[in-house]
Structure 1
Amino acid sequence: MKRQWKDKKGMESMGSRTGRHGKRISAEGAVLALILLAGCLVRLAALDKSPLGLHQDEAYSAYNAWAVMHYGVDSYGYVRPVYYTVWGSGMNVLYSWLTMPFLALLGTTVQAIRLPQAILGCLSIPAVYGLGKEMLDSRAGLLFAGLLAVNPWHIQQSRFGLESALAVPCFLFSMYFLCRYLNGKRKSVWGAAFFAGLTLYSYALTWILVPGVLALSLLFFRKRFSFDRRLLGAALLLFGMAVPLLLFLAVNFGWIPEIRTGIFSVPKLPALRTGEMELSLSAFKRRFLWLAAMLWAQHDDMWWITSEAAGSYYYISTPFILTGMCWHVKLLIDRVRKKRALPLTFLIAIWFAVAFAEGCCIDLAKYHKVNYLHIPVILYGCLGILCVWKLLRRMKGERMAAVGMWVTAGLYGLAFGYYLYSQASFGVHYEQYGNSALSHMHWYRYEEAIERAEELTDGDIGINGLNYANVMLYKKISPYEYMEQVVYTDDEPEFRTVRSIGRYHFDCMPGGTVEEGGTMEEGLSMEERLSMEERLSEEEGNSVKEDSPMVFVYPYMMEEVFQEAGYVTEHVTECYGVAYRE
């Protein structure tokens, strides 16, 4: 009986521990669910209104997605290319492919274009929770997830359909699976390799980041790697995914001719942007200072990517980020001196070091150019907070550590509230439309103006203050029609400027002659135009003929120019009007 009582008591004790453990797990699950809910709301709500308007990079990526869906070729006639040509120096293809199902379901709407980025931004929250849990514990995972969920930079980049921003979730997923693998979960190596391969198709600069991080991880954590068939298979998977891009480099460095097949293409671009990565000591020093200053300031001039009001990581995070970095330096020195293995949190240091070094090789790096750098910066803030909590627990006990946790949560809650307020009250200035930095808008409400211009004339239409990619997407110009009708200017091949596509003439002002064939011989670009009075006196006789069918679409900041030239102006939307001869 006594033994039975002891066994029962042991079972009850075990049951009570299991019950407490179950409650703890359910509490953590509830907190994670709340974090995920908040993160999803701020990434998905009113996706077509913030940022307002459709950026030309979003438009061109979506256009190529639509063109490949319906015609099997991109705007340059390449069959399912491994890299788009677009402006002349290329664009990554992965985001375009992920956009296709949403375009098929929702049409070529802003929501459809931005949904892939927003959804992957939401999925990044549980992924970073898993990363923190693998590196440390579930409490660290919740902290990682919480700070990422409310991070201003991550919220804004998740709401913007920039194709290169896809590198952020893809590489995060790869690092999560790599961390699981290093913790002994060997099957996760397939996930690490697969998402590393996808990362290569999301952003060209990750062609340096991915092998750099993987090589250093192998170097510092080689004892955690199991050199077996599974690892070899994963390496072959990654290499196989990279082969088309290796062929792309071989084609564009002139080692082999471009590849055109009925299944896929490897295009020869008009130009590569390799000049942005000049390697010299003086350039590295200048770019180091630029990048460090930008990260310290926590914003750049791109309002749709960074937050000047609250800070892209929150200004209150700066001491925590520095604390986390200092802790890692101290940890590295201590472990090397004692010849002890590094903890898995050192993956953050490897990630940051490679990303920052690569950022120092880029000319005028901005937040969107070094998007792969920001996750480790955010995680350093998390490590800094954990260090402070640990110090409080050691010096003042559990109660003071708990107070520190609540104070930290309160500070970030206030910062998050202020960020939401700053976004809600972020001024949109229609009178400055056409100047994104002042209007806080991308290309917006141009569709009705184009339709009105087409009602007024069967001839040529001059379109000002709007990128040609937006017109191509809206009018659904077939890639074959585009290739047949496009006329380029003599600009630099890295960013080719389109003068006209059929009847649509871009950045043209009154002063050219419209021939029967529909080309504007002497239209001036917006950048070249002078005031109306100066131009008319200098180019006497070049004004548009009275019987010309040319109708202009223009942003309102240009209205006076057309009125002084004798055109009738008509307001169509909040942003655009049309100008025509009666």
Structure 2
Amino acid sequence: MRIIDYYNYIMTAACVLTCAAAVVIYKKKSAGKNAVSDMSDRMTYLLLTITICIATFLRLFLLGCVPNGLQQDEASIGYEAFALAKYGVDRNGYAYPVHPLAFGSGGNSELMIYLNMISVKLFGTGIVKLRLIPAILGIATVFVFFFVLKEVFSAPAFAGKKNTLSIVGTAFLAVCPWHVILSRWSLDSNIMPFLQIIGLYTFLVALRKKTAKSFALSAALLAIGMYGYGAGTMVIPMFIVIACIYALIKGALNVKKLIISAAVFMIIFMPLFLFYAVNYLGVPEIVTDYFCINKLTATRSGEVFLTLDSSLPQKLLNNLKVLGLVLTVGNDEDMLCHFYPGYATLFEFTFPITFTGLFLVFKDFFVGLKKKAEDDSEYLCNNAAFAAFLIANIVLSIAVETDISRMVTLFIPLVYAFVRGFDFILSNSKRLAAVLLIMVLLADISFVKDYFTDFNSKVISIFMPTYGDAVARAYEIAGDDRQVYSTYDGLSAPFIVALYYTDYNPIAFNDTVEYYDDEAMFRTAKSFGNFVFADIPENFESEEYENTVFVVSSAEVSRFEETGNYIVENMGGYSVAYKE
């Protein structure tokens, strides 16, 4: 085992003992006797500035090479953005689609693509430019989270701790392994925490201001969040229903404001609603030269949602198991692009603190329903908003074949729960609270060291380093006249990486592409233009391949080197082999 594994075991036990000690202290004296002196506003904003600087460093340092290479969905998002920015159509020939066809069943959400389209227009293509959107929005998420916590902890129940708790929560999110890893590559789900936090913040502000305009603004931003990722189309409506019912009960929202906000939400959501109508209700496609609402070649509902058959009980149990792991020590079966072993989600050892906070969140949620409308209604509604996201994500995690990317909106509420658990410890023992912060700090130092020195070695099969450089070099040599023959060894959907690295014309691609299976859930190209993607042929030296430029893996390159007839340019994990 590694040092971090021993550390996790020891610190988990320490967190359990810390929570137990806080409970004992709480029972021995009245709550609040351990007076806490809140930090000044000046110190708070100084620490916020330092926290944002740390968050910025962790999300921008070596952005182009950690992770090294491009994952297939990342390349797909980048290529769709390039195609729309330069040619006005996606790779399937649709002009500005509401939801791009992508691999056939969608697979890439529209908001990330269109944000990157703007980036392409301004800065061009490239790995760093492709990853700037999630990195910048990741930093913004940390910043906005501070003000979300300030809204919640402005309640009288947290008097004397508002600034302290807000800074602790913000700093925890800034260094949280889940959020650092998520912010450093361009998967569509990776911008959901920002969309979630900005919608949540405006909702909390609306609860305070109680104006129709503020609720309408919140509704507009939550509707935009529906375009961020497929899981959001389940989580956001559930959040809205639960949070708004609670606010109606507590008198923070009335029916008139709800109707206005619902109308704003539906107006913004309408294009995506029509997309679902086209694909699931049989409404005809809407295809124009200016925008498209197209039909997918395959739908993912059977792959994503649990089916009512004999496999249902086993799948439900598995989903509950996955949820339990994610809430505690992390799920080692998740793809390594989403987590780093030993540093799962919110650090593996913090779950006793988080569970303490979850108890307090749901205690206040249910107790608040019994109180009169005027009793702490603003705080109770704020707390209920976080509880609503937790409930929505738990339902999602049970209803679909879940993984950490689909559960992406679960973790912001979990960080809030961690802060609530920290508050319970702080309220009973400042020393225990200080020890907890030191535990997290030491774990984060270890995470930063390991992530920037070792993460790439664990995700080679996912991000396919050097393949993009090799295929771009092959196309530079071959042009459009010679065949480019690419290996499939160690690769996933290499055609999309080739498209992105070569800035290939999407119209030419759509006219010439041949898929292995046109009706597959994720269509992968066998060939397009002068590119072929398959196993390297045994007779590669035959006359048929005389002018072919090969892209080969490190396991295959010796076959070309041994002939003595090929020029071999080694790019690292992949090489280019060709004859003059």
Over 3 Å counting, the alpha-carbon distance change for 1:174 and 1:260 in structure 2 is same
**Contact map agreement 2:243 2:384 (CA 8 A) in 1:** no
2:406 aligned residue (369, 389, 404): 369
Deviations 1:451-501 (A, max 9, x none): 246536842111124511121122222221111111111265211120001
User: Which stretches in structure 2 are left out of the alignment for 5+ residues?
Assistant: 1-36, 155-161
Over 3 Å counting, the alpha-carbon distance change for 1:479 and 1:441 in structure 2 is closer
Separation of aligned partners in 2, 1:132 and 1:427:
32
**Contact map agreement 2:513 2:529 (CA 8 A) in 1:** yes
Q: CA deviation at 1:114?
A: 0.7
Over 3 Å counting, the alpha-carbon distance change for 1:454 and 1:107 in structure 2 is closer
Separation of aligned partners in 2, 1:79 and 1:428:
37
Percent of counterpart pairs with the same letter?
25
Separation of aligned partners in 2, 1:456 and 1:244:
42
Q: CA deviation at 1:380?
A: 1.2
Deviations 1:354-387 (A, max 9, x none): 1121022222x22112111111122211111111
Separation of aligned partners in 1, 2:283 and 2:335:
39
Q: Secondary structure at the match of 2:102?
A: coil
Q: CA deviation at 1:446?
A: 3.2
Q: CA deviation at 1:570?
A: 1.4
Matching residue's letter, 1:417: I
Q: CA deviation at 1:85?
A: 0.6
Separation of aligned partners in 1, 2:419 and 2:301:
35
Moved more, 135-144 or 121-130: 135-144
Separation of aligned partners in 1, 2:544 and 2:276:
52
**Contact map agreement 1:449 1:572 (CA 8 A) in 2:** no
Separation of aligned partners in 2, 1:269 and 1:484:
18
State the partner residue of 1:444: 466
Over 3 Å counting, the alpha-carbon distance change for 1:348 and 1:76 in structure 2 is same
The within-5 A match list for 1:569-580 is 570-580=568-578
Separation of aligned partners in 1, 2:443 and 2:233:
35
State the partner residue of 1:293: 325
State the partner residue of 1:169: 194
Q: Secondary structure at the match of 2:546?
A: coil
State the partner residue of 2:120: 103
Q: Secondary structure at the match of 1:75?
A: coil
Larger Rg: 1
Separation of aligned partners in 2, 1:421 and 1:567:
44
Separation of aligned partners in 1, 2:39 and 2:396:
45
Separation of aligned partners in 1, 2:326 and 2:44:
36
Separation of aligned partners in 1, 2:38 and 2:360:
33
Q: Which structure ranks higher in relative contact order (CA pairs < 8 Å, sequence separation ≥ 6)?
A: 2
Moved more, 281-290 or 31-40: 281-290
The within-5 A match list for 1:95-134 is 95-134=112-151
Separation of aligned partners in 2, 1:157 and 1:319:
24
Separation of aligned partners in 2, 1:207 and 1:453:
40
2:130 is aligned with 1:93: no
**Contact map agreement 2:474 2:550 (CA 8 A) in 1:** no
Separation of aligned partners in 2, 1:201 and 1:338:
37
**Contact map agreement 1:298 1:307 (CA 8 A) in 2:** no
State the partner residue of 2:166: 141
Over 3 Å counting, the alpha-carbon distance change for 1:191 and 1:142 in structure 2 is farther
**Contact map agreement 1:299 1:307 (CA 8 A) in 2:** no
State the partner residue of 1:415: 443
Matching residue's letter, 1:156: I
Moved more, 265-274 or 55-64: 55-64
Separation of aligned partners in 2, 1:382 and 1:42:
21
Over 3 Å counting, the alpha-carbon distance change for 1:449 and 1:278 in structure 2 is closer
State the partner residue of 1:551: 549
Q: CA deviation at 1:39?
A: 0.9
- RMSD of aligned alpha carbons: 2.7
2:417 is aligned with 1:380: yes
Deviations 1:148-194 (A, max 9, x none): 11111101101111112222210111011111111235343233112
- Counting matched residue pairs gives 517
**Contact map agreement 1:355 1:370 (CA 8 A) in 2:** yes
Q: CA deviation at 1:195?
A: 1.6
Q: Secondary structure at the match of 2:341?
A: coil
**Contact map agreement 1:279 1:361 (CA 8 A) in 2:** no
State the partner residue of 1:397: none
Matching residue's letter, 2:239: V
**Contact map agreement 1:486 1:498 (CA 8 A) in 2:** yes
TM-score by length of 1: 0.82
The within-5 A match list for 1:280-319 is 280=308, 282=313, 283-300=315-332, 301-319=334-352
**Contact map agreement 2:93 2:506 (CA 8 A) in 1:** yes
State the partner residue of 2:24: none
State the partner residue of 1:226: 253
Separation of aligned partners in 1, 2:280 and 2:150:
43
State the partner residue of 1:348: 386
State the partner residue of 2:219: 193
State the partner residue of 2:487: 464
2:237 is aligned with 1:211: yes
Separation of aligned partners in 2, 1:443 and 1:251:
38
Q: Secondary structure at the match of 1:376?
A: helix
Deviations 1:247-301 (A, max 9, x none): 1111112421100123211010001100120244513333222232244232444
Deviations 1:21-40 (A, max 9, x none): 99922111111111111111
Q: Secondary structure at the match of 1:420?
A: helix
2:447 is aligned with 1:425: no
State the partner residue of 1:391: 428
1:486 aligned residue (513, 517, 541): 513
Over 3 Å counting, the alpha-carbon distance change for 1:335 and 1:235 in structure 2 is closer
Matching residue's letter, 1:41: F
Deviations 1:529-579 (A, max 9, x none): xxxxxxxxxxxxxx8446632231012123345568897461331122123
State the partner residue of 1:521: none
**Contact map agreement 1:75 1:86 (CA 8 A) in 2:** yes
Q: CA deviation at 1:243?
A: 0.7
Q: CA deviation at 1:86?
A: 0.9
User: Which stretches in structure 1 are left out of the alignment for 5+ residues?
Assistant: 1-20, 393-400, 430-435, 514-542
Separation of aligned partners in 1, 2:247 and 2:258:
14
Deviations 1:392-436 (A, max 9, x none): 3xxxxxxxx2x334323222211111111111331645xxxxxx7
Moved more, 254-263 or 349-358: 254-263
Deviations 1:499-550 (A, max 9, x none): 001110012321479xxxxxxxxxxxxxxxxxxxxxxxxxxxxx84466322
2:185 is aligned with 1:160: yes
**Contact map agreement 1:156 1:306 (CA 8 A) in 2:** yes
Matching residue's letter, 2:392: V
